[in-house]
Structure 1
Amino acid sequence: MNQYERLYDETEQVNVRFIGFVSEHGRYDFGIIYTQMFFGKPLVVSMQTGRSSLLSQDDIENLEDLQRVYNLRSRNEAEEVATFLRHNIPSFILESEAELG
């Protein structure tokens, strides 16, 4: 008997970018996985903690979520990471929005 319902099973070739930087609050190493899954949001993985999240430009603006998801110690640290991510996470338009616009 099948005990689960498969929601998706996709394989795709993706681009992965590894970026590390140092600020006054610490060292950060991220893997950014660019995929067409999940509405085109890249998967951003903190290499130090293993914590990850799907992020868009809008998601980056929520500093409290960034601080919680990536286990950042302070709001200042979250602001630094957000600034970095703003410059490294692409803006995107969903296909359905492009069709409407």
Structure 2
Amino acid sequence: MSERFFLYNDTEETKTRFVSFLGEHQRYDLAITRTDRHYGKYLVLNMLGNRFAIIGPDDLEEEGYLEYAFGLDEADAEELRSFLLEII
């Protein structure tokens, strides 16, 4: 077997917030990790939907981003956007 070629192999201290809340149509179980790796953006993991996205304030303003990233309809994405705007 050939030697493994790493593009990077770093360890970083992070802060993760686990939050669960009920929306109008669904439950959200999120892990929100703050790291310096992605230019100050957050790694948001939807543990129920097995999806994640790297999100900053600019991404929350981008039309259709949360719908695409998390597979949500417009109303559910707006609920998630509203919550994330409070913490990001």
- Show the counterpart of 2:76: 77
- Show the counterpart of 1:8: 8
Count the aligned residue pairs. Answer: 87
Which of the two has higher C-alpha Rg? Answer: 1
Residue 30 of structure 1 contacts residue 44 of structure 1 at CA under 8 Å; is this kept in 2?
A: yes
Residue 33 of structure 1 contacts residue 44 of structure 1 at CA under 8 Å; is this kept in 2?
A: yes
In 1, Cα distance between the equivalents of 2:77 and 2:64? 8
In 1, Cα distance between the equivalents of 2:10 and 2:4? 20
In 2, Cα distance between the equivalents of 1:3 and 1:24? 47
In 1, Cα distance between the equivalents of 2:45 and 2:78? 17
Identity rate of aligned residues, in percent? 36
What are structure 1's unaligned runs of at least 5 residues? 90-101
More strand by share: 2
- Show the counterpart of 2:19: 19
- Show the counterpart of 2:31: 31
In 2, Cα distance between the equivalents of 1:19 and 1:88? 11
Compute the displacement of 1:12 (Å): 1.2
Compute the displacement of 1:63 (Å): 3.9
Q: What is the TM-score when the length of structure 1 is the normalising length?
A: 0.77
Compute the displacement of 1:3 (Å): 6.8
RMSD in angstroms over aligned alpha carbons?
1.5
In 2, Cα distance between the equivalents of 1:63 and 1:18? 26
Q: What is the TM-score when the length of structure 2 is the normalising length?
A: 0.88
